[in-house]
Amino acid sequence: VDLTCDVTPGSWLAMSFPSSTVLPLYLDNLHERIGFLEELVADKQDGVDLFKFWLPGFFDQTSFFASFLEHNARKLELSLDQVTFQWSTTTIYDEVGLVPPLEEQ
């Protein structure tokens, strides 16, 4: 019934990444994810070894970043609490002019 109503079946979602989109968008997203993994397997540049990736991390950002920190801590022979992320927030200006700068909104 779900397939005929353009809804992603619950049995698929139970074993998949979270999604609240209609079935065609879910399948497009799934196809992109599979393509990414196929490229990762095919491209062995920089010593990337697919089997060193924790695959569920691709579906949960928090887990992905935790896995990334653990991998780099081991690689650099540091304790996990010595490895952190640093980021900065930048101002983005729409050059086309479709979105006014924040101070004008």
Same domain, 35 and 67: no
Domain total of the chain: 2
69 assigned to some structural domain: yes
- Read off the pTM: 0.42
Residues 31 and 66 in one domain: no
Supply φ then ψ for residue 98, to 5 degrees: -75, -30
Residue 98 maps to a domain: no
Whole-angstrom distance, CA of residue 56 vs CA of residue 64: 8
Q: Which range of residues forms the domain containing residue 7?
A: 1-45
Q: Is residue 99 part of a domain?
A: no
pLDDT of residue 77: 92
Residues 6+ apart with CB under 8 A from 99: none
Token readout for 84 is: 């952190």
Instruction: Give the 3-state DSSP-derived string for 50-82, with helices as H, strands as E and coil as C.
Output: HHHCCHHHHCCHHHHHHHHHHHHHHHCCCCHHH
- What confidence score (pLDDT) does residue 79 get? 92
Torsion angles phi and psi, residue 22, rounded to 5: -70, 165
For 54, residues 6+ apart whose C-beta sits below 8 A from its C-beta are 63, 67
At 42, the amino acid letter reads A
Q: Can you give the pLDDT at residue 69?
A: 86
Which parts of the chain sit beneath pLDDT 50? 105
pLDDT of residue 26: 85
- Asked if residue 97 belongs to a domain, the reply is no
